[in-house]
Every structure is written in structure tokens, then in C-alpha cells.
Amino acid sequence: MDVHGRTDSAVLAPLYVDASGALHAVFTRRRDDLKRHPGEISFPGGRQDPGETLVETALREAHEEIGLPPGAVDLLGALEPTPTFVTNYAIYPFVGLIEPGFEWIVGEAEVAEVLELPIEALRAAYGERRLVRKGIPFRTPTYEVDGHLIWGATGRILQDLLGRLETK
């Protein structure tokens, strides 16, 4: 599927089931001093390099940002491509299942921390807000868990993911 955006990029939504059977999603909080999307919560990902597929992009970026080896990901499928409005990216999200208890290796050039958030807490945290980014007002799905606000393109990707996951 195609989506509007000048720059193709891909993200990986890593999921795992903990010992109690609870499903979690893995996010990154970007460093506050970055030029693009500083301090924002996102799935690991980035721009597509020449000659690689979008799946390869998502897996490479997850390895670079959080140390997740591509071989440790059981790719489950793709979500709806999502555009960014201010930065003009076309984001292609992929979902992968990983083992719980992974020891993250943070790519300190981009990532401030790795967040492992329970799916049920994310579901309960849903809200829609009007935000302003670079002078442009917009409404977006938001999820606030433990003081971490997920919004914008990541919020829309998460909304798609949650809509596809079966509830218990």
C-alpha cells in the first residue's frame, strides 16, 4: 500500500507476552536534543536506505536503536501505512513478536530510553486531543501511560494495532 510522504520509512512494533500472559509493546523515547521529533515516543524505526525493503528497514532500525537482532523477531505482519504531516514521512509499520526479558542495547545517538508498556494500560489510556505542532493545530489519538504521552503518527499506528488485537 502507498501513502503520501516524501520520505519512505518503516517502524517495528515489537510485542511480547510476559510470564503472567500480559501482552506488551516496546517503544523508544527519542532524545530531547534531536532535530526531528525530539523527546517523542515512537516505535523503533527510521528512513529507508537505498536497496533495502521496508521490512529490512524496520528490522535494521530496531537493531540500531534498541539492539534487537533481526533474527530475534517473528514478523507477524504489517499495519496501515501512516503519513506524518509536518515532516512529510510515509511510515510503513510492521509488527513482530519477540521473547520477553530482552536486554536492550540503547542506540544513544537517538534513543533516551526503551519503554515496555502493557497493551491493556495503553487501551485504558486512550484519548483524543487537539495539539499544535510547528504552528499547525490537529486532533490526534493519544495514549498517556506513566507520564509518557504517545501521539501523532505513533498514536495513529498504535490505534491501528490495538484495533487489530483481540481483547481477552
The CB-side HSE value for 67 (13 A sphere, CA atoms) comes to: 10
Task: Give the pLDDT score at 124.
Answer: 96
Domains and CATH numbers, the chain: 7-118 (3.90.79.10)
> What does the alpha-carbon distance between residue 130 and residue 47 come to, in Å, rounded to a whole number?
27
Q: Which of 102, 36, 117 is nearest to 66 (CA)?
A: 102
Q: Give the residue from 6, 11, 13 showing the smallest Cα distance to 122.
A: 13
pLDDT class of 1 with cuts at 50, 70, 90 = low
| Whether residue 126 has pLDDT greater than 70 | yes
| Res. 154: pLDDT tops 60 | yes
Cα distance between residue 117 and residue 111, in whole Å: 16
In the chain the first and final C-alpha atoms are separated, in Å, by 30
The model's pLDDT over 87-111, given as tens digits with 9 standing for 90+, comes to 778 999 999 999 999 999 999 899 9
Within 13 Å, how many C-alpha atoms sit on residue 83's CB side? 9
pTM score, whole prediction:
0.91
User: How many Å apart are CA 16 and CA 26, to the nearest integer?
Assistant: 8
- Tens digits of residue pLDDT in 39-71: 899 999 999 999 999 999 999 999 999 999 999
